[in-house]
Structure formats: structure tokens, C-alpha cells
Amino acid sequence: MFFFILRRMLVAIPILLASSFLMFFLVTISGDPLADLRQSQNPNVDQLIAARRQRLNLDQGFFERYIDWLSGIIRGDFGQNREGQDVSALLGDAMTTTFRLVILATLLSIVIGIVVGIVTAVRQYSIIDYSSTFAAFLFFSLPVFWVAVLLKEFGAIKFNDFLEAPGLSPAGIAILSIIPAILAFGLTPGARRRRLFAGAVTGLVFLVGLVIIDATDWMLNPGLSPLVVTLVSLAVGVGAAALFAPLENRRVVAAGVVTALVGVVGSLAFSSWIEDPTWTQLLLLFVLSLVTGAVVGSVIGGVIDRRAAVSTGMWATIGVGLVVVFDQFISAWEPDRTIATIGPQTPNLTGPFWVRMIDYAGHQILPSLALALIGFATFMRFTRASMLETLKSDYVRTAKAKGLPATQVIMRHAFRTALIPVMTVITISVATIIEGAVITERVFAWQGMGSLFIDGLNDVDPYPVMGFLLVTSIVLIFMNAVADILYAYIDPRIRR
Amino acid sequence: MNTTRRGSTKLLAIAAATALVVAACGSDDDDADTGGGDTETTTDDGAETTDGEDTTDDTAGEGGATGEAIAYGNAQEFSNYNNNLGTSNSVKNSIVLNEVQPSPYNFAGPTGALELDTELMDSVEIVSEDPLTIEYVVNADAVWSDGEPIDCDDFLLQYYANNGLYVQLDDAGEPLIDEETEAEVFLFDLVGTTGYDQMDGAPACSDDGKTITVTYAAPFADWQSVFGGQVPAHVIEREAGVDDLLAAFEADDREAIEAIAETYNTLYTVNPGEINPDTMLSGGRLAIGSWEAGASVTLVPNEAYWGTPAAGDVVVRLIAEEAQAQALANGEISAMDPQPSVDLIGQLEGIDGVTVETGNQYIWEHFDFNFNSDIWDDILVREAFAKCLPRQQMVEALIQPVNPEAEVLNNRWIQPFEDGYQDNSNGVSELDLEAAQALLDESGIAQPVPVRLGWFDNGGNQRRTDQVALTIESCNQIGFEITDAGSETFFDVELAAGDWDIAMFAWAGSPLKSGAVSTYQLGSGNNVGNIDIPEMEPLLEELLVTPDPQAQIDLANQIDILLWENLATIPVFSFPGVVAYSDDVSNVTYNPSQNGLTWNASEWSRA
């Protein structure tokens, strides 16, 4: 296995060299770095051209310049751009920005893509399947810059306008209730009557909820009262229990409920931390709550149900934590045009932790979404196809015939096998997402790798472009190696 | 059966949880204190307390900074505090530095004309016309933000750095010569020596350093354009490790001068986000407060400023031009002035609460005849071309949708919005195909006349593509056979090589008249068409040495009339410009000069 990996890595080196040579060549012939001076009316234009030629080593031939760059790279020096700024510093800033965008977008598209993929495979030819497929193909074929402009128009400008004076029309309430009703109808298994019932209940819940939200101006002044936090936490506790054992199992349910209550009490005890935490405090709280959940679970679960109870306890605290965080988050919300169209954050941002988090989130959401839509379609279609194939296989039918619960068959038996081809697609799709990020960054004014590349090319300035090339190719080669390794790990036949 | 029942229980649990979340509308609580969240903690703007005399606007009197900073969108990131370097000289830097560095004169107001900074300068006077001698008196209170006075040192550093007397030497101590251009390489990185190289030695300083006297060897028409965007000389002196900057230049101490040049060229070449408050001083109303790499530069009121304090913070945000309109609509920026297009104007006008103003820029499109090509030997042929060129149609179809006030440009020296503009064309270029055909016939030239129309065609400029199409469509109806000779290498290769009969491109002008002289002088590199009008040459020379503004206008118009009579080139239109700002911001004023909208950023305030 080690030599397999090593071989993959060694193969990458000549590829990198060749591509860097080609790229350097292409950038240097892509235009005239003196073009702006040649159009100048300045009487000193000859001396200015002379100065730039000297400074940028334009008096040297292409090979000399390439060797110069390459020897710099070997020494760890990325060189300087046309204005004398260090490419390594530019790269550092750009990488942070781009990876912040790409990582979240990738995670979002993977999670949503796989979940929707599974659901559509399990409910093949349902309304959910058709609408998701339609959406996936729509997103796949839309140009990302156009999606970005639409997202800004409706997701930011119009939505912010709406939040400044929120008010739902009866028609709006109806639409917002009917959509979840249809989703519930599509998701629910079983006979038509049962599905209609589920749809009707969901629709009604949303209808009542939205009417109350609208009537109380909650959107102007969002927040959860302690009572609501407690109630939701209890529901979360019960929900967590349902994940690991039948609800008839009183011990596990009790573990969930007690953990939830302990969590609520704990959140009150640590309220000063929670209201304006640092990252360390937040991490400590996370660990503390996980431990608490595990302890409560193991105490209540007894010997037989200990495993399920511990899991329930841990998931319940995570759930309660999310509820508490959500409460802080929306309480910090001000109807102050939070959804942004440009930049990774508001300039000179100060303020309490949650205000800053809201600001980051408000800036991150639209570009991440625009980028995630690219990957979503691929992941969803691949997961769906792969799941359908495994669901039809003999061993899955056997598992069902044994009487295993449906979730267990889908998640534990079918999904794991279905994940193999999806895994390789994920690692390779990162290339598409980085590629999409070049455009997305520009439209959303995030100064990342994309602008480094574009600006370098416009200035006929090879060094920043080469920096871009190096970093992205290394990421891609790394991801490809990861794909190879994962594939070899999952499927021994490939190892040879 | 079992599985489905459990499924439905879970479903109910989820629905119940959702209902609870949704029902959490009681809302209320714990956001009472978030109001303090993002209020800007701007410190009050310095020592000046409310000045009763101050009538410019009352926000400055309120003890400064009410509300949040005003954000302005710009497409390129600030890069260098020393904007007089050839390497970094750019609008992206002047946008930040306009009100940070001292300049005796600024390109101000809606015409972008040079205007004296009366708070920096007590007076600037022409004390003698022959030789031209200018006396600058700097305000006695004018200081850099570290307390050092703004004085003679700063003026003289500009002189020494830009006069072009110092060149790089090779290892043998001989001047370094660039192979391609055969030019010497300046020791100081500079944009141009214009003005400074005409001075008769170094300017003289008074004992207190606040009076600077400049004597020109030959009069220099645009003497107001020098000494702009000063960098602090005492910082360069300190960082270069030189005891006395001026003494080094006076003694011609090569070693010290090289150290100064090195510091001057590189001290301010920093990576994004690196600001050094000890070297990037302010000598104006605003100071660089912070720089978030890849995102924004924040300008704050300069607390050491001696005159009218700035109204508040200004943030220059980095946004690609195509993203600015939506950022304005979403309130993330309050002012913008990108390159306009029809789509953009439509988009901006659709935004509520935003004012859109259009105007002209100092950039203008023109057609040049190549006098090296014998097609144009006879003026009748040139006049025939002028009469088939659909200038009015170009303006109406391509420019007026952006700037409804746009008109055909009939003056090469003075823009329609400037003092002294007049139509010098005498109707010689009014569309008249019959007359054009008659002129061609009269000239006796063999028809059809093949003409290569050269222009910079990178495939991305629809407006120019349309201009070419309109020209071909119109002129090919008479005895011309115009071919589209657009090329991506037009400026690098074809233009200089004379590989064209008609060239279509734009000149970037300025309010300064002398800058364009070389375009029409015989033998100058900018005279691409080889214009040769002997009676115009003395007038051009005279324009270079005429400081009086009215005399400049008269001369420019005389020259322009000669250019029209000889039909050397045909101007078409000024490029349109646009500024858009939200209605709650006051004092944002269109400025056609290259310094950009922030020329008065210190006066921007929330209404």
C-alpha cells in the first residue's frame, strides 16, 4: 500500500513540471506586458519601457525566465508580482479565502447531494424524485455567474428588503405551507391515504406556525424564549432516542429526555460563556456536553441498553447545543441587510461573537450556495444511480427478507456499498468546484485564487499565475491520490 | 408492517419538533443588547473643536462620524503608498491617497480642473514670467501625522526623484543601457520627468522651509501639475539611513543617493494588508486607518490635520465592476463609478434611493489618417472620408444610451464640459454621402479606394465593433472599400509599424493642455499618422511654454482649427462616465479626471 501511494505521488512530479512549463509559456505569450506603456503619450516612454524591461527581466529569454522561476520555487521562493509584492503572501491570503469558500461549498453539496440522492433512490418515481431530478439538471446546466446574480437579487437584495418590513400575504403563507405538505406527501411511505394524512398534518403545522410568526412580528425580533428552548430540547432528546432504539424502550427515551434537561440547565449555567464565547470556550463546551451526554446515557442506560443510551445522550446534547446556538444566532440577528452580496465579511467588523458569526454567515451563504449547486447535481445523480443498483441487488433483498428495519437496510447495507463509486466522484469533483470558484469569487468579490489568476493573466504577469497553478494542481493531485487510495482501500482488486 | 409503524411515529416526532420550533414565536427576549453590536466606534476627529466659521457642511461640526462609514466600490486593490513610482502609479492607489497625501493642486470638481488646496498652501504665486518663477508658501501649521512639518524637503524630494538626472549604472560604472529601447534606466522609479526636467536646478528653500521657489529654465505651461501626491521626505531620509537627504543631493553623494532611491522605490512596496503607521503618514484630511487584504482599505479622519476635519470614515471596498450595482442596491456600498454600459445604466436606474449621474470623461475616440500611405495625399480624399464617417449616428446609437447629453466631439484639445470648448470643425465632417462622392470624383483618385481600418480588436469590445461596422456600411456606399483590419496586437505591432490606413483608437487626455502636444509634433513617437503641418509647429511649441490659462485656450483652439483645416485626424466623441450613490450620502460629486471619485472623500457624509 505504501509503495502504491508513493508511486502515485512520484508520477505527479513530472506532470507538475510539464504543466508548469506549459503554463509559463502560455502566460508569457498571452500578451504584451508593455502594452500600457506603448499607448502612453508620455515623453519619457522609452525610459519607462527600459525600466520595466529591466525590473521584470523581460530582456531575458523565455527559458532563462522559466529556469529563474523554477529555481526560485525549489528554494521555496514564489517570486514577486509585477508591482513587487510577494506572490507567497498573495497566495496565502488567496488560499485562505478560496478554501473557506470551497470547503463549505463542497461539504454542503456532498451532504445535500447524498441525502437527496438516497431519498430519491428509495422513493423512485415519486414527486420528490421527479422534482429533485428536475432541479439537479437545472442547476447543472445553469451558468454559475448567472446563478450568482440571481441569488444576489432574490437571496440578498429582495430578501433583505423583505426582512426590513416582514409581512406574509395569505398567498405567501399558503405557498409556504403547501410546499412542505407536498414534500411530506412524497416522503411518507405506505398507502395513499396515509401519505395524504402526513401531507395534511405537515401543511397544517406550517400554516399555523407561519400565521403566528406573521401575527407576532417574530421576524423583526427573533429569538426563542427559555420555555421554547426547553420544549424543543425535549423533543430533540426524544428524537435522538428514536434514532437508536424503538420509542417503546423507556430507558433510552429517558436518557434522551434527561440529557436534554441537563443540557438546558447547563446552557443556563454557562450563559455568560454562551452569550459571547471565544472559540476555545465553545470547543470546551462542546466537549463538556458530549461527555455529559455520554455519562448521563451510561448511568441511565444500565447494562443492556448502555450503547444505545450513550449514543442517544451524545446526540441529544449535540441537538440541544444546536438549539441553544440557534437561539443565540437569531437573537443576535438585526434586520440590517445581513445577507451580503460581496466580500467575506463586513469591513472592520467588531462586536460580540454571535454578531460576528451572523455577519460571516450572511456573507458566506450565497457564494457557498452558488458553488454548492454545481456539485450538488453530480453527487445527487451519482448517489441515486448507485443506490438504485445496490437496492436491487440480492443481498439487500435478503436483508429485507430477514425482517430488518428499512432504515437499517438502507443505511447500513445498501448505502455503504453505494458509496464506493460516489467517493471517487467526490474527490474528482473538487476540481470542478475550484474551477467554479474562480468565477464565483469574482462575482461575490472574494479576493481568492481566482482573482490572483485572472489579474496575473491580465497583466501578463507569470508569477502569480504560476502560484495559482502550483497550489491548485497540488490540491488536485492530492485529491486524486486520496481517491486512488480510498478506492484501493475499499476495493482490494485495484491494489494489484 | 412493523417498520412502517415506527416510521410514522418518527414522522410525528419530527413534525412535533418542527411545530415547536415554529411556534417559538413568543420571541421577545435577549436581543435588547445587540443594538450596540455594530455601531462604529469612531473616535472623534481630532483636536479641532467645532469651528463656527465652518459653513461647508454641518456634519463636520457635530464632532464627526455620525453613523457608519461610507463605502465606495473599486475594482482593484490598493497596492502602494508611493503613487509616483512608475511601477505602481495607478488609479487604484490615487483613489486611496487623494486626501491622504499633500498636493498643492488637485483635480477637483465636475470638470476635473486643477484647483489650489488652500488649506495646505498659504499661497502659490507666479513671481516672474521670464524666467517663469513660482513661489509656493506652505501653511505654517501644515504637518505630517507624526508632527513633522510639511515643507521644502518634501517638495525637493519630488524634484530630485522625478527630474530624471540620476540613472542606473552597470558594474563598470557606466550608465546601464536597455537593449531594445537603447534608453538609460532611471535610478528613481518614476512616471515621467515632465515639469521637473524643465526646472532650472533645484527649487530654493526659505530658512523656515515653508517657502519654496521654483525657477523654470523654459516656461512650463502646466506648472500646476507638479509636486502632487507627496511622500514624507523625513521618513525616506530616516529609513534610508541618510543623515541629511538634501545635503546628499547637493553634494551629489552617489552612495547616499542610491540608498535614498532604493528606499524611495521599495519602502512602500508592501504585501496586501501591511500598513505601517510610522511610514505611511497622512498629510491630508484622511489617514489610512486599516487595510484588510483582499477586501478593503479604511480611511479615517487624520487627527493631526490642521484645517477642516473630515466628515467621517470612508471605506474603499474591493469589488469587481460587474458586482458593484447589486452591492449598491444591497446597501453594502454607497458610491461607485465604474465604466458605464447601457445595461449598467439601466440596472442602476432600477434601484430605489440611488442617484445616477452621467457625464463625459477625458478619454476620447478618434480616427487618424496615415499620412505615410499615399491614399490620403489629397485633402479631398480625406474630406470625402470625413463626410462619409457617420459620427452623429455613432454618438446616437452607442453613446447616448449611456450619456443622453453626449454630442459629437469637434475639438481635440478641449472637452465639451471645459471652459473654452468650441466647434472648430466648420462642418467639414458632417455626414453627406453625395458631397463625399463628389469630393472623391474631384480628386481623381482611382475608385474604389482600398482602406485598411486598424483598431485594437480583442474580441471583447462591442462598441468598437459597431463603430467599425457603421463606418464600413456608410463609406462603402461611396467610392471607398474599407476593410476591417482589427487586430489584437494593434498597439504593440501594427500601430507603430504604420500597418494601417485609418486608425481608430482613443487618447486619454487630461485638463492639462501641454500633455497632448507631442501627439501632433512631427517626429514625435506619439504622432503615429505622421502629421506634418509646418505652420502648426510654432504654435505647439508656444503652447508648451504658456502658463496663462486663457492664452492656453486660445492657442489650443488655433491649433485645433489648423488640424481641422488640414483634416489631420477626426475626433468622434468623449467616453461617457457615470457615478451612482445612495441618496442618504451627500457631497459625492462626479469627477472626470483620472484621480477618481474620492477627490473629495473627506466631505462625504450621511445626509
**pLDDT tens for residues A332-342?**
877 778 889 99
Q: Is the pLDDT of residue B10 over 60?
A: no
pLDDT tens digits along B187-234: 999 888 888 998 999 999 999 999 999 999 988 888 998 999 999 999
Contact at CB, B31 and A221, closer than 8 angstroms? yes
Closest CA to B392 of B358, B450, B431: B431
Over the stretch A70-129, which tens digit does the pLDDT of each residue have? Answer: 999 999 889 888 888 999 999 998 998 888 888 888 889 989 999 999 989 988 888 889
pLDDT of residue A276: 84
Q: 234-273 in B: which are within 8 Å (CB) of A?
A: 266, 269-273
Average pLDDT in the B367-396 region? 92
- Residues linked to residue B291 through DSSP beta bridges, in sequence order: B297
- pLDDT of B358 over the 50 cut: yes
Which of B528, B532, B467 is CA-nearest to residue B493?
Answer: B528
Is the CB of residue B526 less than 8 Å away from at least one CB of chain A? Answer: yes
pLDDT of residue B117: 93
Q: Which helix (H) or strand (E) holds A173?
A: helix A170-187
pLDDT over 70 at B348, yes or no: yes
Q: Which of A245-249, A282-286, B354-358 has the lowest mean pLDDT?
A: A245-249
CB atoms within 10 A of CB A45: 20
Write out the E strands in B343-417. Answer: 354-369
Mean of the pLDDT values across residues B354-368?
91
* Grid cell in block for residue B412: 481635440
Q: How large is the average pLDDT for residues B391-409?
A: 92
Residues of B in contact with A90 (CB under 8 A): 271-272
Q: How far is B497 from chain A (nearest CA, A)?
A: 12
Q: Please compute the mean of the pLDDT values over residues B236-240 and round it to a whole number.
A: 94
Contact B592, B416 (CB under 8 A): no
Binary contact (A235, B16; C-beta < 8 A): yes
- The 10 Å Cβ neighbour count of residue A221 is 17
Which residues are CB-contacts of B62 (< 8 A; sequence separation ≥ 6)? B50
Say if B453 is an interface residue toward chain A (CB within 8 Å). no
Instruction: Say yes or no for a CB contact (<8 Å) between A336 and B38.
Output: yes
Cβ contact B294–A94 (<8 Å) = yes
Q: Which residue is associated with the grid cell 456532498? A: A110
Cis, bond preceding B131 (omega within 30 deg of 0):
yes
CA-CA distance, B337 to B325, in Å (whole number)? 10
Is B138 or A195 the better-scoring residue by pLDDT? Answer: B138
Q: Kindly determine whether residue A342 and residue B331, on different chains, have CB atoms separated by under 8 Å.
A: no
Q: What is the β-pairing status of strands B286-292 and B296-301? A: antiparallel
Q: How does the average pLDDT of chain B come out, rounded?
A: 85
Q: 3-state DSSP call for residue B214?
A: strand
Place of cell 470612508: B314
**Under a CB-based contact definition with an 8 Å cutoff, are residues A340 and A364 in contact?**
no
Residue A157 with chain B: CB contacts under 8 Å: 326, 329-330
Residue A341 has phi, psi (to 5 degrees) of -105, -15
Q: Please give, rounded to a whole number of angstroms, the shortest distance from the CA of B590 to a CA of chain A.
A: 24
pLDDT at B594 > cutoff 90: no
Alpha-carbon torsion B504, B506, B512, B518, what sign?
negative
The C-alpha atoms of residue B357 and residue B352 are separated, in whole angstroms, by 14
> Could you tell me if B79 lies within 8 Å of chain A, comparing CB atoms?
yes
| pLDDT at position B60 over 50 | no
Q: Which of residues 198-227 of B touch A (CB under 8 A)?
A: none
Chain A residues with CB-CB distance to B3 below 8 A: 405-407
Element (H, E) at B569: strand B569-582
pLDDT tens digits along A123-176: 888 888 998 999 888 888 888 888 889 999 999 998 888 888 888 888 888 999
- List the strands of the sheet with B204-205, edge to edge: B121-129, B132-138, B211-215, B204-205
- On the question of pLDDT at B395 being above 80, the answer is yes
Tell me which chain B residues have a C-beta less than 8 angstroms from the C-beta of A240. none
- pLDDT band for position B481 (cuts 50, 70, 90): very high
The answer to whether the CB of A214 falls within 8 A of the CB of A167 is: yes
The whole-number pLDDT of residue B399 equals: 93
**Cα of B315 vs its chain's centroid, Å:** 19
- In the predicted structure, residue A223 carries a pLDDT above the cut 90: no
Unique residue bearing C-alpha cell 422534482: A131
**Minimal CA separation from A293 to chain B, in Å:** 20
Alpha-carbon span A68 to A62, nearest angstrom: 10
State the Cα–Cα distance between residues B21 and B25, nearest whole angstrom: 8
Question: In the 8-state DSSP scheme, what is residue B452?
Answer: E
Measure the N-to-C terminal CA separation of chain A; round to a whole number of Å.
Answer: 10
CB contact under 8 A, B294 and A93: yes
CB contact set of A353 (below 8 Å; sequence gap of 6+): A276, A277, A278
Identify the CA nearest to A85 among candidates A470, A473, A467: A467
- Count of residues in chain A: 496
Contact, B10 vs A215, CB < 8 A? no
SS3 for B596?
Answer: coil
> What pLDDT score was predicted for residue B19?
42
pLDDT at A490: 67
Highest mean pLDDT among A1-10, A441-450, B102-111, B551-560 belongs to: B551-560
Q: Which residues of B583-607 are buried (b: 16+ CB within 10 A; e: fewer)?
A: eebbbbbbbbbbbbbbbbbbbbbbe
Q: Which long-range contacts (CB under 8 A, 24 or more apart) does A61-64 make?
A: A62/A24, A62/A25, A62/A28
Distance CA A75, CA A332 (A): 48
Of the candidates B76, B122, B82, B129, the one whose C-alpha atom is nearest the C-alpha of residue B101 is: B82
Mutate to test the interface with B, among A28, A30, A44 (most CBs of B within 10 A): A44
| A contact residues 153-182, partner B, Cβ 8 Å cutoff | 153, 156-157, 160
Question: What's the CA gap between B43 and B387, in Å, rounded?
Answer: 63
Q: What is the pLDDT, as a whole number, of residue B370? A: 93
| Interface residue of B1, B4, B18, B27 to substitute, partner A, most A CBs within 10 Å | B27
Give me the residue from A153, A202, A246 closest to B326, CB to CB: A153
For A267-298, the DSSP string reads: HHHTHHHHHS--HHHHHHHHHHHHHHHHHHHH
Beta strands in B25-150 (DSSP E): 70-74, 105-108, 113-116, 121-129, 132-138
Span A31-66, pLDDT tens digits: 888 877 877 777 788 888 888 888 888 888 889 999
Q: All 3 cell numbers of residue A17?
A: 513540471
DSSP letter string over A240-267? HHHHHS-TT-HHHHHHHHHHHHHHHHHH
Cell numbers 395569505 label which residue? Answer: A170
Q: Provide the shortest C-alpha distance from residue A296 to chain B (in Å).
A: 22
Of the residues B163, B170, B319, B330, the best mutation for testing chain A's interface (the one with the most A CB atoms within 10 Å of its CB) is: B330
Contact B86 A334 (CB under 8 A): no
- At residue A169, the pLDDT reads 85
Which residues in chain B are closer than 8 Å to A341, comparing Cβ atoms? 323, 326-327, 330, 332
| Burial (CB count <10 Å: 0-12, 13-18, 19+), residue B243 | exposed
Which pLDDT score is estimated for A492?
63
End-to-end CA distance of chain B: 69
Sort out which chain B residues have CB atoms less than 8 A from A32's CB and list them: 489, 491-492
Identify the three-state secondary structure at position A378.
helix
Nearest alpha carbon to residue B246 among B188, B256, B164: B256
What is the number of other CB atoms lying within 10 angstroms of the CB of residue A254? 19
**At residue B32, does pLDDT exceed 80?**
no
Q: Where do we find the cell 427478507?
A: A401
What cell was used for A459? 497583466
Q: Is A80 left (phi over 0), alpha (psi -120 to 50) or beta?
A: beta
The answer to whether B122 and B138 have CB atoms below 8 angstroms apart is: yes
From B382's Cα to the closest Cα of chain A, the distance in A is 25
Cell of B455: 483598431
For residue A97, which residues of chain B lie inside 8 Å, CB to CB?
294
The number of residues in chain B equals 607
Contact B164 A47 (CB under 8 A): yes
B293–A447 C-beta distance less than 8 A: yes
Q: What is the mean pLDDT of residues A303-315?
A: 84
Determine whether the interchain pair A405/B3 forms a contact, defined as Cβ–Cβ distance below 8 Å: yes
Cβ pair A232:B17 closer than 8 A? yes
Q: How many CB atoms lie within 10 A of CB B539?
A: 17
Q: Which of A98, A15, A200 minimizes the C-alpha distance to A438?
A: A98
d(CA B221, CA A327): 68
| Contact (Cβ atoms closer than 8 angstroms) between residue A168 and residue A214 | yes
pLDDT band, very low/low/confident/very high, at A491 (cuts 50, 70, 90): low
Give the closest residue to A153 by CA, choosing from B347, B296, B580.
B347
* Distance of residue B181 Cα from the nearest chain A Cα, in angstroms: 6
Task: Map grid coordinates 428588503 to a residue.
Answer: A161
Helix (H) or strand (E) holding B484: strand B480-484
pLDDT > 90: percent of chain B? 57
| Phi and psi torsions of B81, nearest 5° | -75, -25
- At B495 the pLDDT is 85
Chain centroid to Cα A329, Å, comes to 19
